Amino acid sequence: MAEIILNNLTKVYSQNIIAVDKIDLKINDGEFMVFLGPSGCGKSTTLRMIAGLETITEGDIIIGDKIVNNVDSAERDLAIVFQNYALYPHMTIKGNLSFGLKLRKLANAEIEKRVMYTAELLEIKPLLNRKPKELSGGQQQRVALGRALVREPVAFLFDEPLSNLDAKLRASMRTELIKLHRKLNTTTIHVTHDQVEAMTMGERICILNQGKLIQLGTPLDIYNNPVNTFVAGFLGSPPMNLFDTKILPNNDCLNFKISNNLISLPNKEFRTLIKYSGCEIIFGIRPEDLYIEKISKNMIDFEVSVLAVESLGSEAIIVANFENGQEIYAKVDRNFQAAYKDKLRIYFDFNKIKFFNKNSTESI
């Protein structure tokens, strides 16, 4: 067990492509950290640098209390689970599990004990004498996980291990990984582009984009207080509604115009916004914070016209647009029904609004 610290970690590929850009991060001992970001954001590269499979251009990686920049993968005592499992195709499952232990010259009895314990833990004991290609995707996934567990490393690195599984299996493996982490309490870094995985599994989430660390925090913290429009637009399904608007100052309230709707907010509630008077800003509201009726006194509303209602069974999503064509998504009760082009008033609590600086896209 160990904490992992990244100091100013940078990876530049040839032709000056910056894959990872000065990342500073401390992953606590025993923590389940999720690296989340779109493809090409540098999350896998960061993980691979930690694993020692990729060289570091600049910065330091510290595992425990040792700088490991020039330490070989094998000696970092980490275990990685790859997206496509990377099992040794010519070895039996038992061979796959014990390969790393044999290389570390453990006693046969100890190898046997650990393999059996892991096989039991992951319920793959009946598969031990089979070859990887005789296994289903889910079973291979378990073996890949087993190969990491059996080594009892100081930390686990998961490189999108669930993305090749079908939706149902992915959901159950998610839960299992969380349970496993509770049981073993080993430092874990889980790389994913799936926000559901990130939200449900991570103790903390580290959001990356274009090689930069954008936001670090607990899932709820990040969901509720996105630092910029990228995070706001990346987390949530459908993502946060974002509208370009301009603050029109008035005596004791701030006015915005979104299409033809004029929205007034009490000045005293939004003091920080006053200095943006007359400026263009971005107005954000989550789909689940929109209602089709007024349910509290702080609510304001605007009029939209319905484009479609997507029924998901447990809820319904209204896709509507303003007169200027801008689309808005609202998550409502599953029984909601409306016809195409129906006019609809949508209500929201003004405390739920987020504002972002239009130029820097950062949260205000």
Contacting another protein within 104-123 (CB under 8 A):
104
What are the structure tokens assigned to 45, written together? 């590269």
Query: Which helix (H) or strand (E) element contains residue 5?
Result: strand 4-13
What single DSSP character describes residue 228?
B
Task: Considering the complex, state which of residue 74 and residue 196 has its C-beta at the smaller distance from another protein.
Answer: 74
Identify the residue among 67, 103, 220, 295 touching another protein (CB under 8 A).
103
Cβ-based nearer residue to another protein, 65 or 72: 72
Q: Return d(Cα 265, Cα 218) in angstroms, integer.
A: 30
At 159, which helix (H) or strand (E)? strand 155-159
- Choose the binding region for another protein from 50-58, 175-183, 190-198, 264-272 (rule: CB under 8 A): 50-58
Distance, CA of 46 to CA of 313 (rounded, Å): 39
| All residues at 6 or more sequence positions from 315 whose CB lies less than 8 Å from its CB, including other chains | 331, 332, 333, 334
Cα-to-chain-centroid distance, residue 120: 30
What's the closest the beta carbon of residue 103 comes to another protein, in angstroms?
Answer: 4
* Window 51 to 90, contacts with another protein (CB under 8 A): 51-53, 72-75, 78-80, 82, 84-90
Binding-site string for another protein from residue 326 to residue 345, where x marks contact by CB under 8 A and - marks none: --------------------
Cβ closest to another protein, residue 124 vs residue 316: 124
Query: What is the identity of the amino acid at 240?
Result: M
Nearer to another protein, 103 or 220 (CB): 103
166 by Cβ neighbours in 10 Å (0-12 / 13-18 / 19+) ranks as: exposed
Q: In the bound complex, what is the minimum distance in angstroms from residue 76's beta carbon to another protein?
A: 8
What is the 3-state secondary structure of 22-90?
Answer: EEEEEECCCCEEEEECCCCCCHHHHHHHHHCCCCCCEEEEEECCEECCCCCHHHHCEEEECCCCCCCCC
Closest distance of CB 284 from another protein, Å: 40
100 is an interface residue for another protein by CB under 8 A:
yes
Between 53 and 216, whose beta carbon lies closer to another protein? 53
* Contact flag: residue 208 with another protein (CB under 8 A): no
Nearer to another protein, 50 or 309 (CB): 50
By CB under 8 A, tell whether 313 contacts another protein. Answer: no
Which of these ranges, 47-55, 171-179, 291-299, 311-319, lies near another protein under the rule CB under 8 A? 47-55
For the CB of residue 74, give the shortest distance to another protein in the complex, in Å.
4
Backbone angles phi, psi at 292, to 5 degrees: -100, 0
How far is Cα 150 from Cα 167, in angstroms, rounded to an integer?
27
Q: Is the Cβ–Cβ distance between 343 and 322 less than 8 Å?
A: no
User: Which residue number, 62 or 86, has a Cβ lying nearer to another protein?
Assistant: 86
Range 134-153, binding another protein (CB under 8 A):
147, 151
Residue ranges in contact with another protein by CB under 8 A? 51-53, 72-75, 78-80, 82, 84-91, 99-100, 103-104, 147, 151
